[in-house]
C-alpha cells in the first residue's frame, strides 16, 4: 500500500495481526488511522524491515493506538504530517536492536500521548519533530536498546504545550532534549532516571522552556546537563538534586523553593568539570532581582572562594587575604571593624609607651589615637607620624600598623573595584 490514497479512515485494529511489514510509506489518509488492539511483527532487523512504515505519509486525523497495540519491530513516522494526535496509551513497543519508534521531523497538530503504562524496549527518536499540542509520557517505562544507552532522542523538538515525564515515568537510559523548544513546562515530577554514575542521565543543552520541574522520585546517579538553557522557572527538590549537575551558561528567572543562598550554593558545586563563574553570577542576579541583596553577596563571595582553588599559590594567598579582610569587597564592614580594633590596640600601646619627639619642634600635642590613625592610613598626613618616633619594641608595633594599613587599603581598593565592575 505504499503511496496509497485513502479518502476516509484506515482501520487496522480490533485484533488485526500482521507478520511482516505494514507498508504505508508516502500514503495519504483522509481521516484517522486506527491500530487499537493490533499486533504487528516485523520481518527482521535489517535496514527497512519495519513492522509499520508510515514515513512521509499525510494523515488527516489521528493515529489511534491507545488500547493494546503490541509491536515487535521498528515503527517509523519520520517526515510524516499528522493533523490530529498520536495516541499510544498503553502500547508495547519492542525492538531491542535499535530504534523502536522513529518520528524524526514528524509534524503532529495535536498531542503525542504515550501515557498509561506505555513500555518501549528500544530507542524513541523525536528529533526535530514539531508538535502543536503536548508530549505526555506519564507512567511510561522506556528501556534503551542493547546497542546504545540513549532511550529518547528529542534534540531540536518544538512543542506547543507541556512535555511530561511524570507520575512514575521510568527511563533506563539517557534522555536527550538538546536545542528543544518547549513553550510550556518540562516536568519530571516523580520520574526515575536510571543510569550509572558516570553516564549522562538527562541532556538539555541549549533547551528553551517556560518551566523546568526536576522534582524527581530519587536523586539521579547519572549526570544532568542543563548547560546554555533558558528557563523561566526552575522548580526542584534539594533532597533529590542530581549527584552531577551542569548548569554552565544556563539562564533562569526564578528558582523554587526560594532557599537562602547558603542552602542553594551547593547546587552549583556539582559540576563534574569543576568551577565556572557564570552559574554563580546567574544565581546572584536572581537574588538581586528579587531584592535579596545579602543572599546575592553571599553567592558572589562563594564564587571567589570556589575560584581560589584554580589560582597559583601567590594569587591564592592574596585571595585568602581579601576574603578575610573585606569578603572580596562584598563585606566592607569587616574593614571598619578591623580598623577599629587596630586603632584601639595602637592607642593603648602608644598611651603606655609614647614615642619621642623628633626634629627641632614645635611639636603638636601627642594624641595616641591620632598617631595610630596616622600610621594606619596611607597617603594621609595627620602630622603626628612626622613629629614623633617610637623606640624599642614600639618601632615594630609601628611597622606592623603601617604594613597592615597598606595591606588593608590595597585589599579594600581591589574589592571595591571588583564590586564596581561586577566581577
Which stretches within 180-291 are classed as H helix? 261-264, 278-289
Rounded distance, CA 220 to CA 165, Å?
Answer: 14
Per the domain annotation, does 386 fall within a domain? yes
Per the domain annotation, does 22 fall within a domain? yes
Backbone angles phi, psi at 47, to 5 degrees: -60, 130
Nearest to 69 by CA among 101, 92, 100, 96: 92
HSE value, Cβ hemisphere, 13 Å, CA-based, for 122: 20
Rounded distance, CA 289 to CA 308, Å?
Answer: 27
Rounded distance, CA 296 to CA 159, Å?
Answer: 34
Per the domain annotation, does 364 fall within a domain? yes
Per the domain annotation, does 226 fall within a domain? no
Final residue belonging to a domain, choices 137, 161, 185? 161
Give the pLDDT of residue 392.
83
SS3 239: helix
Nearest to 106 by CA among 52, 165, 55: 55
Q: What is the DSSP letter of 267?
A: G
Per the domain annotation, does 301 fall within a domain? no
Final residue belonging to a domain, choices 161, 190, 214? 161
Backbone angles phi, psi at 122, to 5 degrees: 135, 155
Number of domains, the chain? 2
Give the pLDDT of residue 112.
97
The counts of H helices and E strands in the chain are: 8, 36
Give the pLDDT of residue 378.
79
Asked if residues 370 and 387 have their Cβ atoms less than 8 Å apart, the reply is no
SS3 397: helix
Rounded distance, CA 120 to CA 375, Å?
Answer: 77
Backbone angles phi, psi at 161, to 5 degrees: -115, -140
Our CA dihedral for 202, 204, 210, 214, rounded to 10 degrees, sits at 20
Nearest to 62 by CA among 88, 41, 38, 92: 88
Measure the CA angle with vertex 107, ends 105 and 113; round to 5°: 105
Per the domain annotation, does 130 fall within a domain? yes
Rounded distance, CA 102 to CA 127, Å?
Answer: 9
Per the domain annotation, does 270 fall within a domain? no
Per-residue pLDDT of the chain (423 residues; tens, 9 = 90+): 556 787 788 898 888 998 888 888 998 998 999 999 999 998 765 445 799 999 999 999 999 998 789 999 999 999 999 999 999 999 999 999 899 999 999 999 999 999 999 999 999 999 999 999 999 999 999 999 988 899 999 999 999 999 999 999 999 999 999 999 999 999 999 999 999 998 999 999 999 999 999 999 999 999 999 999 999 999 999 999 999 999 999 999 999 999 999 999 999 999 998 899 999 999 999 999 999 988 988 898 888 887 787 777 877 776 676 666 666 666 766 767 777 887 888 889 888 888 888 876 677 888 888 888 888 787 778 878 888 888 888 888 888 887 777 777 766 665 556 555 555
Residues in the chain: 423
Final residue belonging to a domain, choices 125, 140, 161? 161
Phi-psi region of 33 (alpha: psi -120 to 50; beta: other; left: phi over 0): beta
Give the pLDDT of residue 268.
92
Q: Which domain, by its residues, includes 382?
A: 328-420
Give the pLDDT of residue 423.
55
Per the domain annotation, does 205 fall within a domain? no
Which cell numbers in the block locate residue 93? 513497543
Rounded distance, CA 240 to CA 259, Å?
Answer: 15
Amino acid at each position: 500500500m505504499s503511496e496509497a490514497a485513502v479518502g476516509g479512515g484506515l482501520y487496522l485494529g480490533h485484533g488485526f495481526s500482521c507478520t511482516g511489514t505494514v507498508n504505508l510509506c508516502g500514503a495519504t489518509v483522509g481521516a484517522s488511522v486506527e491500530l487499537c488492539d493490533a499486533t504487528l511483527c516485523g520481518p527482521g532487523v535489517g535496514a527497512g524491515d519495519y513492522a509499520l512504515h508510515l514515513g512521509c505519509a499525510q494523515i488527516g486525523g489521528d493515529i489511534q493506538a491507545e488500547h493494546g497495540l503490541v509491536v515487535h519491530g521498528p515503527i517509523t513516522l519520520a517526515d510524516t504530517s499528522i493533523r490530529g494526535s498520536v495516541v499510544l496509551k498503553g502500547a508495547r513497543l519492542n525492538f531491542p536492536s535499535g530504534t523502536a519508534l522513529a518520528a524524526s521531523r514528524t509534524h503532529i497538530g495535536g498531542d503525542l500521548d504515550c501515557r498509561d503504562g506505555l513500555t518501549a524496549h528500544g530507542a524513541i527518536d523525536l528529533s526535530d519533530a514539531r508538535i502543536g499540542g503536548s508530549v505526555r509520557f506519564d507512567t511510561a517505562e522506556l528501556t534503551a536498546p542493547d546497542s546504545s544507552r540513549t532511550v529518547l532522542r528529542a534534540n531540536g523538538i518544538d512543542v506547543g504545550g507541556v512535555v511530561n515525564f511524570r507520575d512514575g515515568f521510568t527511563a533506563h537510559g539517557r534522555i536527550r532534549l538538546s536545542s528543544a523548544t518547549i513553550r510550556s513546562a518540562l516536568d519530571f515530577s516523580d520520574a526515575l532516571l536510571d543510569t550509572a554514575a558516570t553516564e549522562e542521565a538527562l541532556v538539555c543543552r541549549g533547551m528553551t522552556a517556560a518551566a523546568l520541574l526536576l522534582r524527581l522520585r530519587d536523586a539521579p546517579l547519572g549526570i544532568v546537563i542543563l548547560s546554555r538553557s533558558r528557563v523561566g522557572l526552575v522548580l526542584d527538590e534539594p533532597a533529590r538534586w542530581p549527584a552531577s549537575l551542569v548548569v554552565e551558561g544556563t539562564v533562569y528567572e526564578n528558582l523554587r523553593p526560594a532557599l537562602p543562598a547558603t542552602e542553594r550554593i551547593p547546587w552549583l558545586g556539582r559540576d563534574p568539570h569543576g568551577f565556572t563563574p557564570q552559574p554563580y553570577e546567574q544565581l546572584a542576579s536572581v537574588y538581586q532581582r528579587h531584592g535579596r541583596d545579602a543572599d546575592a553577596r553571599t553567592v558572589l563571595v562563594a564564587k571567589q572562594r570556589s575560584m581560589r582553588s584554580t589560582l597559583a599559590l601567590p594569587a591564592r594567598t592574596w585571595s585568602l587575604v581579601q576574603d578575610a579582610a573585606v569578603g572580596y569587597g562584598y563585606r566592607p564592614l569587616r574593614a571598619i571593624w578591623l580598623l577599629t580594633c587596630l586603632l584601639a590596640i595602637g592607642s593603648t600601646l602608644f598611651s603606655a609607651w609614647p614615642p619621642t619627639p623628633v626634629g627641632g619642634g614645635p611639636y603638636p600635642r601627642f594624641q595616641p589615637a591620632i598617631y595610630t590613625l596616622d600610621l594606619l592610613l596611607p597617603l594621609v598626613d595627620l602630622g603626628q607620624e612626622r613629629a614623633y618616633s617610637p623606640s624599642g619594641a614600639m618601632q615594630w608595633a609601628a611597622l606592623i600598623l603601617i604594613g597592615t594599613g597598606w595591606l588593608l587599603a590595597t585589599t579594600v581598593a581591589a574589592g571595591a573595584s571588583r564590586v564596581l565592575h561586577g566581577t
